[in-house]
Amino acid sequence: MKEIDKVFKALADPSRRALIDRLHAKNGQTLSELCTGLDMARQSVTQHLDLLEAANLISVEWRGREKLHYFNPVPIHKIYARWIRKFEQDRLDALLDLKNELENERNDDE
Amino acid sequence: MKEIDKVFKALADPSRRALIDRLHAKNGQTLSELCTGLDMARQSVTQHLDLLEAANLISVEWRGREKLHYFNPVPIHKIYARWIRKFEQDRLDALLDLKNELENERNDDE
DNA sequence: GAGACATGCAGGTAATTAACTGCATGTCAG
DNA sequence: CTGACATGCAGTTAATTACCTGCATGTCTC
């Protein structure tokens, strides 16, 4: 499976996006810490975290018996760079076209 | 299902992203036009397009017996605005922090 | 109106997924 | 060393998904 596909798939689930949000709010949380308040078995959370890790959206670090989780924004930046920016560019292009159109109209009047 | 979730789910499939790319290259294509060159039954393509339409990523317009498909970038912009920009912001913040840190160090020297 | 064409609609199936339960392993603290 | 704790690992299940095939409907063209 392509890298970018893993990222999109990982982001497609609201539970996983929530986990990223939690890590974004407080980085370096343990598994049990991430589980608190969630209506889901620890093992299910692990599965989600594994997917996020496979997509390189989080990285883990062991400290004794605890597993610390860190958010990594790079894949999201790549999605933006390779897949969203070009559509954003269309919006700018459309504005430029409109601007040129208006200016040409003005020139036609002269 | 939440709006944003439909969009993420719709974007999670590479076939659907390919369809968006094709529409981005040439807007207003019919169903059969979108099917050409794809190794997939027409009915399967229809299902993908239905999902994209449910996510508001494409809109359709009937002309006689033909169904024209148009790409709509707004949901992708919303993803960027509500979900990606804040992570991008972190990168800027980190740069600013670094800048301030360096300046403070310089002041400490004086 | 007949035949070609574009698409819709209704199942059916195999693969994937997201959740669970139960038990095992490894680490800390007294 | 022992008990508590953090996590891993394996297997099960129900829901979802991504396909397919077959047939129906509606619209052009001659």
A76's enclosing H/E stretch is helix A74-79
Question: Residue A109: pLDDT band by 50, 70, 90 thresholds?
Answer: very low
Burial B78-93 (b: 16+ CB within 10 A, else e): ebbeebbeebeeeeee
Instruction: List the one residue out of A15, A57, A55, A17 whose CA is nearest residue A39.
Output: A15
- Out of B12, B24, B80, whose CB is closest to A80? B80
- Give the pLDDT of residue B95: 72
Half-sphere exposure (Cβ direction) of A64: Cα atoms closer than 13 Å:
2
Contact by Cβ (8 Å): A88, A17: no
Question: Residue A38: pLDDT band by 50, 70, 90 thresholds?
Answer: very high
- Segment A64-102, tens digit of pLDDT: 999 999 999 999 999 998 889 888 877 777 777 776 776
Stated pTM of the model: 0.86
DSSP reduced 3-state for B3: helix
Asked if A98 reaches chain B (Cβ–Cβ under 8 Å), the answer is: no
Asked if A88 reaches chain B (Cβ–Cβ under 8 Å), the answer is: yes
C-alpha span between A104 and B5 (Å, rounded): 43
- Give the pLDDT of residue A106: 57
Question: Residue B105: pLDDT band by 50, 70, 90 thresholds?
Answer: low
Contact A84 B90 (CB under 8 A): no
- Segment B79-102, tens digit of pLDDT: 999 899 888 877 777 777 776 766
